[in-house]
Amino acid sequence: MGALSKFLGAHIIMVVVVVVVMVVVVFVVVGRRRMVVLATDLVRDRDETRRVEGNEELRKTSWGKNRG
């Protein structure tokens, strides 16, 4: 344990930088994946809404009423 603490003491800045970079990379990957999911959901939602607006039969169903 003594050697480990001596190593960390000597390289504390490098260790902190590596940890911060790893955390940022994880957040970017997770955030990008979530943004892609949100974007595809928005596109799908817009397409479904357009389909309901153009289809009288579908608009009369309960699903169509829920969509406006």
Render pLDDT for 28-50 as a digit per residue (tens, 0 to 9). 888 777 777 777 777 776 666 66
Distance CA 8, CA 23 (A): 19
Question: Helix (H) and strand (E) counts for the chain?
Answer: 4, 0
Residue 48 lies in a domain: yes
Residue 3 lies in a domain: no
Which distant-in-sequence residues (6+ apart) come within 8 Å of 54 by Cβ?
Answer: none
- pLDDT at residue 58, as a whole number: 58
Residue 45 lies in a domain: yes
Residue 66 lies in a domain: no
- pLDDT at residue 31, as a whole number: 78
**Number of domain units in the chain:** 1
Cα end-to-end span (Å), the chain: 65
Residue 47 lies in a domain: yes
Here the contacts of 45-48 (C-beta below 8 Å, separation 24 or greater) are: none
- Whether the Cβ atoms of residue 35 and residue 29 lie closer than 8 Å to each other: no
Percent residues over pLDDT 90 in the chain: 13
